[in-house]
Amino acid sequence: MKKKRKRKKGKHPTIVDQSVTRLTKLSATLPDRRTGKNIQYQMGDIVKAAFAVFFTQSPSFLARQKALKKSKGRSNAETVFQMKKIPCDEHIRQMLDPVPPEHFYDEFHTILQQTNEQGKLKAYQVLDGNHVLLSLDGTEYFNSYEIECKNCLHRKRNNGQTQNYHTAILPVMVAPRNPHVLALPPEYIVPQDGHEKQDCERAASKRWVKQHAAHYATLNAILLGDDLYANQPLCQHILDHDLHFLFVCKPDSHQTLYQWVDTFIAAGKVDTVSIRKWNGKHSEMWTYRFLNDVPLRSGDDALMVNWCELQITHKETNETLYHNAWATDIAITEGNVAELVECGRTRWKVENENNNVLKTKGYHLKHNFGHGDQYLSMTLTTLNLLAFLLHTVSHLTNKLYRLVREELGRQDTFFNDVRALARYLLFDSWGHLLEFMYVQLEIEPAPD
């Protein structure tokens, strides 16, 4: 039988412990409508109480911690999440309703900066390490016929009823063959002051670029997206903010561009690269074609872009198995076309590894944790995304976390254990809780 190893508790604060500390400081700058007896709960406690529910994936976390404090005199809400008092759910909702979600956006940037300083963003660098990929996609996370707030969008259903709903752009940093996506600050699609039309995904994407581009320009970020994004106003806006784009580009919505492409194809002036691959069952032919300097739209002021496509065919039957095309500002060559296409195809990770995980793997993105009259729904969603980011970054930067997760296998097993331990035992910090799990699981090898 293995001899259990002892480790010193709390020797180094984890990135989670550091983020919780920053949330305390940040909370002092939030809109505060506490009055009378309500001032017994500080805004920092209110924010961290909401965050703790998402981070532990436990709607009953606060109630369990109140019971733990009653029996032991302290709770993990006080130690792990640095709270002085534990507010009730309704008070949290009331106090967070007037708090706009953008108050928490800088914390996303700070966490990613820490990750980069530790050299862990190298796994996300592409094209000779010169770029990173940011995938944009809109997703709906709430709808109701009864519940409504001032930031709801509205649509008429076939049953004649008006449905209220929320959608958001949820950008993530992605990389080919990398199973982990890094959540970035969201951009909510909400009614805009002075606009008669409802907000849309394109307009929200432009706002996101304007607000956050400076944080990613130094990484030479390339924005990924579907055909909806491949329009001149957005592409030019991206270039004006020192970012790059690689968007799906379909013939139906880019007729001028494809007229140029077809003309060059007919003249035999489109570069082609063909690669034969074995997929484990049969041979495939991967055929890349590309053309630089073609207009994205008609008109003398058209933005000139570079076009590429990939067609995968069954080598024996010549059946088309896959076909897609992209427009980009990155110059395309025989040497980089295959990797550029691989980058373009990576945009699907925003749906598979982000939106799907948030909706089905314990974060309950579509669950109504509280809607409010102003910003509550969006602010709670932002804290949920922050929890998701911290778990992902912990996997990248904290060997203890990674070893424990790998030992336990399933994600739900890990969170079940965290919830059980936090319910019955006291820990000095999140790092201490991880160390306890590591020791009890008797994992080898020992972390650095």
pLDDT in tens, the chain (448 residues): 444 444 444 457 899 999 999 999 999 899 888 777 668 889 999 999 999 999 999 999 999 999 999 999 999 999 999 999 999 999 999 999 999 999 999 999 999 999 999 999 999 999 999 999 999 999 999 999 999 999 999 999 999 899 999 999 999 999 999 999 999 999 999 987 545 566 789 999 999 999 999 999 999 999 999 999 999 999 999 999 999 999 999 999 999 999 999 999 999 999 999 999 998 888 999 999 999 999 999 999 999 999 999 999 998 898 999 999 999 999 999 999 999 999 999 999 988 888 888 888 878 888 888 999 999 999 999 999 999 999 999 999 999 999 999 999 889 999 999 999 999 999 999 999 999 999 999 987 655 5
- Note down the domain range covering 421: 15-100+375-441
Same domain assignment for residues 167 and 233 = yes
Strands 138-144 vs 244-248: parallel, antiparallel or unpaired: unpaired
Q: By three-state DSSP, how is residue 95 classified? A: helix
Bridge-based pairing of strands 271-278 and 283-295 is: antiparallel
Q: Which of 331, 357, 383 is the last residue of a domain?
A: 357
Task: Quote the tokens at residue 268.
Answer: 């035999």
Q: Domain containing 212 — which CATH number?
A: 3.90.350
Same domain, 168 and 230: yes
Q: Choose among 384, 380, 361: nearest CA to 371.
A: 380
Residue 241: name the closest of 329, 137, 339 by CA: 329
Residues whose CB falls within 8 Å of the CB of residue 364, separated by 6 or more in sequence, listed in order: 57, 384
Give the end of a domain, one of 305, 328, 357.
Answer: 357
The predicted pLDDT at position 354 comes to 81
Per the domain annotation, does 196 fall within a domain? yes
323 contacts 337 by C-beta, under 8 angstroms: no
CA–CA separation, 362 and 356 (whole Å)? 10
Q: Answer whether residue 8 is part of any domain.
A: no
Could you tell me if 349 and 399 lie in one domain?
no
Does some domain include residue 259?
yes
